[in-house]
Structure 1
Amino acid sequence: METTVIEIDGLRMRYGDRDVLHGVGFVARRGEILALLGPNGAGKSTSIEILEGFRRRSGGDVAVLGVDPGRGGEDWRGRIGIVLQSWRDHGKWAVRELLAHLARYYPGAWDTDALIAAVGLGGVARQRIRTLSGGQRRRLDLAIGIVGRPEVLFLDEPTTGLDPQARREFHRLIEGLAAEHGTTVLLTTHDLDEAERLAGRIVILDGGRVVADGRPDELARGIAGADEVRWTLDGRRHTEATADSTGFAFELFRRHGAAVRELEIRRASLEDTYLALVRAAEGADR
């Protein structure tokens, strides 16, 4: 049975005489990974800060784990985890020492050694934090965010600065939290490939409004449009846009067989969707 963990309806935020959120609304369910995307100034950071209970909203209804974040107490805060884009405190502490210290604040915390193993820091558990590599530091950031076994995890640009291998490993950790522990993950990122890989649902903000909400494949098909098929036949290069690239390729081979060479299918992507929506919003503002 699906359980709604985050629910926003008609969220508004005003700074002075300037509105930055205009009736934002979306939900996130237990075990779901949801990506909140949008250009700079779209309202992502403000929305997340309201959900985390760090900023008071101007209007609308917001609930995280059934509680208004603006009124959440210590018990509620113990049920959420936050991984910031950068965090550089406690460089003199050892990894295990810091995590064991933080675990004492949570009644249902991870066992420290189990947590260290889960995030892949077993080999550096006794090292000083200031000596860690960028990838190891990001794993520690995640361990700090989940030490209390949060039901909701907020991630801000989670893999900024990581090399491709460290990024893939970090992604697997996040996917495991959602799939194995039922953690709801809300992430913000400018890396569209990362959002497409990790998130089961995408919410795109632009100008303080939700301009799209759905699965990545749904958004790509419904907004970005057709796939692009390219092939070579009798020495000539051909290109065709189609909503059914699989059926088109099948018919192409049925008619021409092995004469079809260098077949390529480029499916509509989240990047295509994102750019189409942002361009449309920019055009509407002119």
Structure 2
Amino acid sequence: MTATTTTAGQVPGKRAPSASPRVRALRRFGRNRMAVAGAVVLGVVVLVTLLAPLIARHPPNAVDLDAVRQGPSWEHWFGTDTSGRDVFARTLYAGRVSLLVGLIAALAAITVGTLLGAVSGLFGGWADNVIMRAADIVMSFPTVVVILVLAGIVGPSMTVLITAIGLTQWPVAGRVVRGVTLSLRDREYIQASEAAGATPWWLIRKHIVPAALPPVTVTGTLAVAQAIMLETTASFLGLGVRPPQASWGNMLNDAQNLTLIQTMPWLWIPPGIAIVVTVLAVNFVGDGLRDAVNPAGRGGDR
């Protein structure tokens, strides 16, 4: 006698195979409306900045002396600055710089933090003490101060920004990876691998990094938003991206005069809105990833 099937095509008494952790995480992320909205907005921002040469009607550094300090018009959608440069074009091209600095700096911080956190958790002993004390020291220094020191030594540049952010933001990822490593170090398969002659670097590459990837991805996403804000702050203070190359930070620097703020709001509103929208979108995506990877704080997997 053959078994009857249900309407879903399943044999009665048998449970359907459960979805993989990755699929469940994607489903939880998809149910988070703010995270999905943030991902859509962030995708639009990235796409618009990448297509800047096709969208902008003027080069970002082209000077038009006949259109100095003009308000928004059909020719210059966001108006022009004090040098006659198109604000719309500069806002688009500035997004490239700010996003690039944020992405590379966050990637550098995550890479250094993952390596040092894995070494700290796996080796323990003096290595753990040295790395964790170094993390405490690094976290005690404000990133802007480090940027100020490096800029004073070698001069302001994008490289200085990325280096300073990477050197000061790695402890966050390092602590996360160290915690994951400590939870894995006494597992049977790790001990079996060590007994079979596996090197620590093989364990880090094959077991620790894959296990730490979900929380590190969340940390990295939030680090991008932090790096964008740091780049904006440093460039606004004249310590980051140098003119004539545009970034959202130095565009705000051009409009820091009180008279310009009152009489030419089109100089600071576009980059200001771009910063707020981008950082909020990245944070919403990071929050969604955090809840998708670790749903315990939201009542488990529903």
TM-score by length of 1: 0.24
The structure with the larger Rg is 2
Greater length-normalized contact order (CA 8 Å, ≥ 6 residues apart)? 2
Larger % of strand: which? 1
TM-score with structure 2 setting the length: 0.23
